[in-house]
Amino acid sequence: MNIASLLLQLLFAMLFMIIQFVALFWFLARGRTYWILPGETGSTWDDYRGNPEIVENAKRIVTLLKGVKEFKEMGGEAIRGLLLCGPPGTGKSYLAQVIANEAQVPFAYASAPSFQNMFFGVGNLKVMGIYKKARKLAKVYGACIIFIDEIDAIGMSRQGGGGGGMMGGLMGMGGSGILNELLLQMDPPNIDNNWFAKLLRSLGLRKKKAERPAVLTIGATNLPDVLDQALLRPWPF
């Protein structure tokens, strides 16, 4: 009887420790991201004051976001990356909000340093989580925008030591692993995320091409020279 009671106590203690660890990991993996749905900000081109050339290019992005379905039907692909460079206070984040509001698509605001964490893998979970939610919203609204401020914090060149060294990489502070995850999420393969669609495809009953939700990542930085070359290539930015 004593042995059974001791085993139950040990089992309870182990379950309690596991629950605590999972709860702590879940709490740390929650990224501080602000989600803005269409119409909540009301920011328009009339409110933005900036370079006319930038506004003209931004209006083209809005046209692309509004016509995602039509562009796909014509064989095109939705734009997946946009990089805004400029000194602090030049309105990079505000421009991204205007683009989202004019296109009437959801907008997520995140700061790149918030993805960093002392525990290995937590930053990757934060990146995966924000893109997972963005894809769900893109299916509802047609597209979604993720704005990452100070993207140089996780997008520094890996050749220049942006990974944070051995100790930084083990503790999760380095940006190399997070950068790899970001690149994967920005340009993922065409897959069926719905379980029913996966089942039909596995049975050979679904011949339609797997669709990739239109998620536009807008990165902002005042240090473009330190960014990794993988971020500066035509895709994703």
| Domain residue ranges in the chain | 1-30, 31-232
**Which range has the worst mean pLDDT, 11-15, 164-168, 191-195?**
164-168
pTM, 2 dp: 0.78
**pLDDT band for position 89 (50/70/90)?**
confident
pLDDT at 118 (0 to 100) = 59
pLDDT at 220 (0 to 100) = 93
What is the CATH architecture assignment of 31-232? 3-Layer(aba) Sandwich (3.40)
Query: Residue 164 — left, alpha, or beta (φ > 0 → left; ψ -120 to 50 → alpha)?
Result: left
> Is-contact 158 176, C-beta < 8 A?
yes
pLDDT at 103 (0 to 100) = 92
